[in-house]
Chain A
Amino acid sequence: MRLIINGETQIVAATTLSQLLTALEYEGEWLATAVNGELIHREERDDHALADNDRIEILTPMQGG
């Protein structure tokens, strides 16, 4: 499947958001996900099916002012 993940096009085998995070080796609970501009809560990731050309954002904490 072709996805745009944090702005970069990637071909992945994952079919759900949870599988994608595992495949990309994201760890820990401090991250947020959005698909096509909509927040996908952590408890929804297992059931959230991905589709070709979905735009995925995966954000984590960083320093801010």
Chain B
Amino acid sequence: MLELYGTEIPSRLLLGTARYPSPAMLAESVKRSQTGIVPVSLRRETAGGRNGGAFFEMIRELGVRVLPNTAGCHGVSEAVLTAKMAREVFRTNWIKLEVIGNHDTLQPDVFALVEAARILSDEGFEVFPYTTDDLIVAERLLDAGCQVLMPWCAPIGTAAGPLNLSALRSMRAHFPDVPLIVDAGIGRPSHAAIVMELGFDAVLLNTAVAGAGDPAAMAEAFAKAIDAGRQAFGAGMLEPRDMAVPSTPVIGKAVFS
């Protein structure tokens, strides 16, 4: 079973809670995905906190763990303060740490990310860093106290799927014992199956489900793909070959001429 910071999680799908057509559709998607973890966020609100409170009460009723994020933060101090405010609200040491370095690509600022991860880890947070597939950055994040890594496979919201399989394979090989969660860039269930077949431990996605024609059905489709990919990884897959190999044995075949 997937274990993150000492907590066993029954599902390998982390499902974001944003951009659904309605709260009811969000709830239905969470149920059909069978996810155990949902990312949430914090924002300013003018309605006296009633909208945010109602949203969080609904999430609590779904019986899943929340993973607060620092989405939209562009610097160390902003991300650290947002994380502290998230802990105050959501009462968990878990934090999905995002420090964005570029508006167009939403690429993480990995230098600020490492610094913020160290500060937060020292203050008792259990950091889930949204990072790139760079191995040295990953090592620095582990040095900073992270026990989970969340590399992108493509920029957030692009639905492009895994753009650099070689880098993802290297990451898996270099960190065989670190939980690796592909975060961002997944567009369809086959993308999720591919990264799970590579041996990644879980997938975090949002837009691919929330933006689907039928989000709840897509949530279930992703859950199946992730399970299939994980099972295939454990079962041991054939490596591609250049030459054909007959699947039907030729021994004993009749000779007619």
Contact = CB atoms under 8 A, between A and B. Distances in A.
Interface of A: 6-7, 24-28, 30-34, 37-39, 41-42, 57-65
B49 interface: yes
Contact of B18 (A37, A57, A59, A64): A64
B203 to A, nearest CB: 13
A62 B43 CA distance: 6
A62 B81 contact: no
B68 A64 contact: yes
Contacts of B46: 6
Interface stretch (B2-10, B82-90, B159-167, B221-229): B82-90
Interface in B53-78: 53, 55-57, 59, 68-69, 71, 77
A34 B18 CA distance: 24
Q: Which 6 A-B pairs have the closest CB atoms?
A: A60-B52, A64-B41, A65-B16, A65-B206, A32-B85, A61-B56
B253 interface: no
B48 A24 contact: yes
B160 to A, nearest CB: 16
Contact of B53 (A38, A60, A64, A65): A60
B42 A59 contact: yes
Nearest to B45: A60
Contacts of B101: none
Interface residues of B, number: 41
Contacts of A7: 44
B17 interface: yes
Contacts of A30: 49, 52-53, 56-57, 89
Contact of B49 (A26, A37, A57): A26
Given A26-B48, A31-B89, A57-B85, A62 B40 contact: yes
Contacts of B52: 30-31, 60-62
A59 B41 CA distance: 10
A25 B86 CA distance: 21
A2 to B, nearest CB: 19
B50 interface: yes
